Amino acid sequence: MRWIWLLAMGACRVEPAVNPEPLDETDPTSTTGDTATDTPCTATVLTGNHTVTTDADVEALSCAVEIGGSLLIAGVPGPTHLDGLSSLTKVGGHLSIGDPYPEFNTALTNIEGLSNLTLVGGDLGIYNNDGLDDIAGLRGLTEVGGSLNVINTDGIAALDGLSSLTSIRGDVTISGTTNLASLDGLSALSNLGGFLSIGFNQDLENIDALSNLTELVDSLNIADNDVLTHVDGLSGLTTIASLGLLSNPMLTDLGGLSNITTTESIAIQYNETLCQTQIDAWVAGVEVVANGNVEVVPNDPGC
């Protein structure tokens, strides 16, 4: 569904004048354009799904405080800002900023207009958005009812906008980033209802911010992170459904997994600098239940 809601804007009434004096923008009694005649904005709860592809679409939602369905923000080149969404506090369905196709949202440079958003009932997805440096505009968000996906976000260097999230009911996927060095914005996260996947992140140096994570219901997968050297941020976990550590060329230390006692399967492979004897010692202390699969070669045999 594209647009099912249009806001009627008041018509601008212009009085004829000869050589009018310029308005003093510091004078609170001064008015310009539609300001004098606009219909006051009434807080509105919208039903259904909505799509934003241009700046005009953003402004058309300027009175919305809640959207019952999903909100997709994606266009070619897309909106340049989301300032008109500053009244929005809740999206009942999914919120997607960008699209899996890389040509979307090349013009979007900030999402400060979402600073009053506190709840996303479904999934929160942040895809591509090459001009977006950060997601600080999501700093008011306290609840995500579905999954969190941050994928192919080349410009984003920090996840600080997610710092108020303590639990996510679905999965978390952080993948395909080129400037993200840490997961610091996830430092408050303690409970994850699905799986955690961290992969193909070019500059990710550590995952220390996950140190408060104590419950992970599903699997843990960490793969193809070029400069990740350790997994110390996972020390709060004791049980996971399955573990995959694959093709992390700089990974040398499994100390962050030392408190994990049970799992259903283990795959630790193709980590070029991870000592095989360290892996074997760790696996020996973990109970693999339900006759689960264990695959822990090849890694670095020469240590």
Alpha-carbon span 277 to 260, nearest angstrom: 18
pTM: 0.85
Among 106, 90, 73, residue whose Cα is nearest residue 144: 90
The pLDDT assigned to 101 comes to: 76
Alpha-carbon span 87 to 110, nearest angstrom: 16
Query: In this predicted model, what pLDDT tens digit does every residue of 111-169 receive, in sequence order?
Result: 999 999 999 999 999 999 988 999 999 999 999 999 999 999 988 999 999 999 999 99
The pLDDT assigned to 32 comes to: 32
Tokens encoding 6 = 């249009």
Tokens encoding 91 = 């999206």
Domain definitions of the chain by residue range = 45-295
Position 299 pLDDT exceeds 80: yes
Specify whether the backbone of 200 is left (phi greater than 0), alpha (psi in -120 to 50) or beta.
left
Q: In this structure, how many other beta carbons lie within 10 angstroms of the beta carbon of residue 209? A: 19
Specify whether the backbone of 103 is left (phi greater than 0), alpha (psi in -120 to 50) or beta.
alpha
Backbone CA torsion sign across 135, 139, 141, 146: positive
Choose the CATH number for 45-295 among 3.30.420.10, 3.40.50.2300, 3.80.10.10, 2.170.140.10: 3.80.10.10
Position 225 pLDDT exceeds 90: yes
